[in-house]
């Protein structure tokens, strides 16, 4: 499942309907998570810091209004708690330029970093087992 988005202040939500979305500041959430909770990232420099400081980072580009993103949320929370990867979450509404720089055209989009480099990109709702296997491939090689 995938929510397609257009990067502007209007988002196509299906059947020609649009919704106006206002960006919110998520910076207050950044850095408050422990190692086993997702880290909410606001901006390129914060994502760069997380990727530089951690060996394996699964970055979830999401939107609050996206149904598949909401379905993925408990999965990424479980992966943050049970795997050796750090989970970073990027709200595409508040971070449109950051999302665009990673080629995010729909949500959810998951970008996996290992050793500071982007190694995988997965678009759409994914199962926990598939994501766990993907993460463990890179965690075990570190």
Domains and CATH numbers, the chain: 3-140 (3.40.30.10)
- Interior angle at CA 39, CA 87 and CA 104, nearest 5: 65
Give the pLDDT band (50/70/90) at residue 67.
Answer: very high
Residue 122 pLDDT more than 70? Answer: yes
In this predicted model, what pLDDT tens digit does every residue of 99-118 receive, in sequence order? 999 999 999 999 999 999 99
Judged against a pLDDT cut of 90, whether residue 93 lies above it is answered with yes
Report the candidate in 97, 74, 100, 96 with the shortest Cα–Cα distance to residue 87.
Answer: 74
97 vs 43: CA distance, rounded Å: 8
Distance CA 86, CA 140 (A): 14
Residue 5 · residue 90 · CB < 8 Å? no
- pTM summary value: 0.78
By three-state DSSP, how is residue 111 classified?
Answer: strand
Residue 3 is among the residues annotated as catalytic for this protein = no
Residue 59, burial from CB neighbour count under 10 angstroms (0-12, 13-18, 19+): buried
Residue 20 clears pLDDT 60, i.e. is over it:
no
Q: Which tokens belong to 86?
A: 């750090």
69 is catalytic: yes
Residue 42 is predicted with a pLDDT of 95
User: Cα 122 vs. chain centroid, distance in angstroms?
Assistant: 10
Residue of 5, 58, 69, 72 marked catalytic: 69
- Candidates 66, 72, 85, 114; catalytic one: 66
Going by the DSSP 8-state scheme, the letter that residue 64 receives in this structure is T
């Amino acid at each position: 499942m995938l929510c397609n988005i257009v990067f502007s202040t209007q988002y196509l939500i299906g059947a020609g309907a649009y919704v106006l979305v206002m960006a919110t500041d998520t910076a207050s959430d950044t850095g408050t998570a422990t190692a086993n909770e997702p880290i909410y990232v606001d901006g390129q420099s914060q994502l760069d810091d997380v990727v530089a400081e951690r060996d394996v980072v699964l970055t979830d580009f999401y939107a609050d209004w996206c149904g598949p993103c909401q379905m993925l949320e408990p999965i990424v929370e479980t992966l943050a708690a049970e795997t050796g990867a750090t989970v970073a979450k990027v709200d595409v509404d508040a971070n449109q330029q950051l999302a665009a720089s990673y080629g995010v055209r729909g949500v959810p989009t998951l970008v996996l970093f290992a050793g500071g480099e982007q190694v995988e990109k997965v678009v759409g709702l994914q199962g926990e087992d598939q994501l766990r296997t993907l993460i463990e491939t890179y965690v075990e090689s570190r």
